[in-house]
Amino acid sequence: MQPLGVDEPTVVGPYRLLGRLGSGGMGRVYLGRSAGGRTVAVKIVHPHFALDEEFRARFRREVEAARRVGGAWTAPVLDADPEAAVPWVATAYAAGPSLTTAVTDAGALPAHTVRVLGAGLAEALSAVHGLGLVHRDVKPSNVLLTLDGPLLIDFGIARATDGTASLTSTGVSIGSPGYMSPEQILGKGVTGAADVFSLGAVLAYAATGAQPFPGDSSAALLYKVVHEEPELGALDGELREVVESCLRKNPADRPTPAELARRLAPNGAATLVATGWLPGPLVERVSRSAVEVLNLEATGADQGSGVVGFSSPSVEATGSTGVGGGTGAGGTGALGVFGPPPVMTPTPAVPQPRDAGPEEQARPGKVSVSVAATSVPGTDGKGRRMSCTVALAVAGALAAVTVGSVFVFDLLPNRGGSDAQAGADTTHSQSPGASEAPASGSLAAYVGTWEGEGTALKGKLPIGTFRLTVKEAEKGEKLGTLRQTDLIGNVCDDVLTLKSVTAKKLVATSKGADDNHGGCNPATTTVTLTPVGDDLDYASDSEESGNPTARLSKIK
């Protein structure tokens, strides 16, 4: 857990916030305390989602669905305000690390622990599916390890299986690569069997310490899930049989959660938990975590803290009321609103931010979400304010996926210099010799910003949106940047260097940007741009990435 930053709220509804537990594509999660002393986890959605009525409708529906889930192995929803200026939801807080943290820190879990883990999660899914719901995002980070057993959390993207009111755009996959089922990836419809596949991948990760479908990019992960068998390492015996049955490609061939639960714990998961299920180091860690929470209550939340890194500051200082009009303990400080609203009705209030002095408020590069009708450069010349129409269209389509933070990511200043923002920038300053034709030929037909959908493996695998910006360059100079935003919102930037150009073909070398995340391909490859009518055909010789191709249309 991290201390609250100066631009983060201290009160949400009736809850006093003590620290930040994490953040994701949908919002930030805080540790909170009610007036009666109950500890809760409070999720506040990203402000740009709050402005979108389609997202609000979805959030409202998901909260109602999550309130129906109350099994022994899930974290219950205790409170929520979908109608607040910035919607939030509070769930019971459980002291204990996520499965991701536990395995990352200490390696694979003992077989007995994995058996209990599988039995508890299977019972949780059985209860969820019995309500006509599908979780859709069962993964290690959504599993908590507590002394009282495993907990399945974050039903933020669960949805009813009866097909009503699905507000996600056609063709958008929701889930996490490596843990999504093949039918999720292929968009063939999702049933409870998809959660069973994800459960099998989670158990394989817990038992071996590695993903069953490893890969160095999202495209590779998605391809392996659909077409290849899992890598289960030294996993053997009954646990291997259970995992293999869960990871069958055909949904009809997988066991039901109830069948899994009976196989792993004939007398119920609770009986196995009662005899002790976590290894000693984890028991010590969970106990220490509980003590830390108690110490937070004893010392209070008003300790000094610096700004905690996040995708973008959410608000600008102003005076208003709290979330949903509530105040609560410590609710008298300055509040915040979204950026200038030239075309929107009264600016909504947002959670009360921590006090920030004039220097902090005036810090260069501090960017807010703008609701302006068009995209314009930021005041410092580095950041940009995104069109509200664009941001909200994306937010509605990919509400619960990490892509929300990806689009905010483009607003940040100083990300590898102005060239690293080629996916958003549409103007380029020219050097004194830029008006001269490059020695290798004219670039006139290629200069500009182009966008289209990319595919790999000869068009069989969708790999997201490609956005290419080309500027004038000499042979051997930087030509521009290609930004790929994959199906779940991860972003990779490739820097292009001009090799040769004619009226019929442009050839460039492509190399991953230095500040890419670990899932991007860092290798140097060759790409070709070929004019086709008013469009460009993009092709890469990267076999590791499945030889990506795209038809790009000029947008700037």
- Convert the pLDDT of each residue in 357-399 to its tens digit: 444 443 333 333 323 333 334 444 433 333 333 333 333 333 3
Provide CATH 1.10.510.10 ranges for the chain.
99-277
**Which residues on adjacent β-strands are paired with residue 41?**
31, 91
Most confident of 65-74, 268-277, 287-296, 331-340: 268-277
Structure token pair of residue 310: 């996040």
pLDDT of 257 higher than 60: yes
Alpha carbons 63 and 124: distance in angstroms, whole number: 17
- Tell me which residue of 251, 24, 25 sits closest to 129, measured CA to CA: 251
Judged by DSSP in three states, 289 sits in helix
- pLDDT band of 174, cuts 50, 70, 90: low
Whether the Cβ atoms of residue 414 and residue 490 lie closer than 8 Å to each other: no
Angle between helices 192-208 and 99-106 (to 10 degrees): 20
Whether the Cβ atoms of residue 396 and residue 57 lie closer than 8 Å to each other: no
Angle between helices 111-130 and 237-246 (to 10 degrees): 30
The predicted structure's pLDDT at residue 339: 32
- Tell me which residue of 364, 311, 313, 359 sits closest to 339, measured CA to CA: 313
pLDDT of 288 higher than 70: yes
The secondary element (H helix, E strand) that includes residue 496 is strand 491-501
pLDDT of 104 higher than 60: yes
pLDDT of 539 higher than 90: yes
- Across the chain, mean pLDDT equals 72
Provide CATH 2.40.128 ranges for the chain.
419-554
CATH number of the domain at 99-277, please? 1.10.510.10
Instruction: Tell me the helix, strand and coil percentages in the chain, rounded to 5.
Output: 30, 25, 50
**Dihedral sign for Cα atoms in the order 426, 432, 436, 440:** negative
The predicted structure's pLDDT at residue 371: 30
Most confident of 273-282, 406-415, 426-435, 485-494: 273-282
- pLDDT band of 467, cuts 50, 70, 90: very high
Q: What angle do CA 8, 9, 14 make, to 5 degrees?
A: 160
- Alpha-carbon torsion, ordered 87, 92, 94, 100, to 10 deg: -40
| Residue 460 burial by Cβ neighbours in a 10 Å radius (0-12, 13-18, 19+) | exposed
- pLDDT band of 175, cuts 50, 70, 90: low
Unique residue bearing structure tokens 């993903």: 211
Find the length of the chain: 556
The predicted structure's pLDDT at residue 486: 74
Percent of the chain with pLDDT over 70: 68
Provide CATH 3.30.200.20 ranges for the chain.
1-93+309-411
Residues 6+ apart with CB under 8 A from 287: 147
Alpha carbons 553 and 537: distance in angstroms, whole number: 9
pTM of the model: 0.53
Most confident of 335-344, 398-407, 436-445, 516-525: 516-525
Judged by DSSP in three states, 173 sits in coil
User: Any alpha helices (H) in 438-556, and if so which ranges?
Assistant: none
For domain 419-554, the CATH class is mainly beta
The predicted structure's pLDDT at residue 297: 53
Alpha carbons 8 and 312: distance in angstroms, whole number: 11
For domain 1-93+309-411, the CATH class is alpha beta
Alpha carbons 11 and 295: distance in angstroms, whole number: 19
Whether the Cβ atoms of residue 415 and residue 406 lie closer than 8 Å to each other: no
The predicted structure's pLDDT at residue 86: 84
| Average pLDDT value for residue range 471-500 | 88
Question: Could you report the per-residue pLDDT of 8-62, keeping only the tens digit for each?
Answer: 888 998 999 988 888 766 778 899 998 888 889 898 888 777 788 888 888 888 7
- Tell me which residue of 92, 173, 159, 97 sits closest to 128, measured CA to CA: 159
Structure token pair of residue 368: 């807010």
Structure token pair of residue 543: 């076999």
Number of other residues whose CB lies within 10 A of the CB of residue 476: 12
Known binding residues for ATP are: 43
pLDDT of 142 higher than 50: yes
Residues tagged active-site: 137
514 versus 24: the higher-pLDDT residue is 514
Whether the Cβ atoms of residue 546 and residue 456 lie closer than 8 Å to each other: yes
pLDDT of 127 higher than 70: yes
Unique residue bearing structure tokens 């930037």: 493
- pLDDT band of 543, cuts 50, 70, 90: confident
The predicted structure's pLDDT at residue 25: 66
In order of 130, 351, 522, the CA distances from 452 in angstroms are: 41, 38, 22
User: Any alpha helices (H) in 247-300, and if so which ranges?
Assistant: 257-264, 269-274, 280-299
- pLDDT band of 485, cuts 50, 70, 90: confident
Whether the Cβ atoms of residue 295 and residue 33 lie closer than 8 Å to each other: no
Judged by DSSP in three states, 495 sits in strand
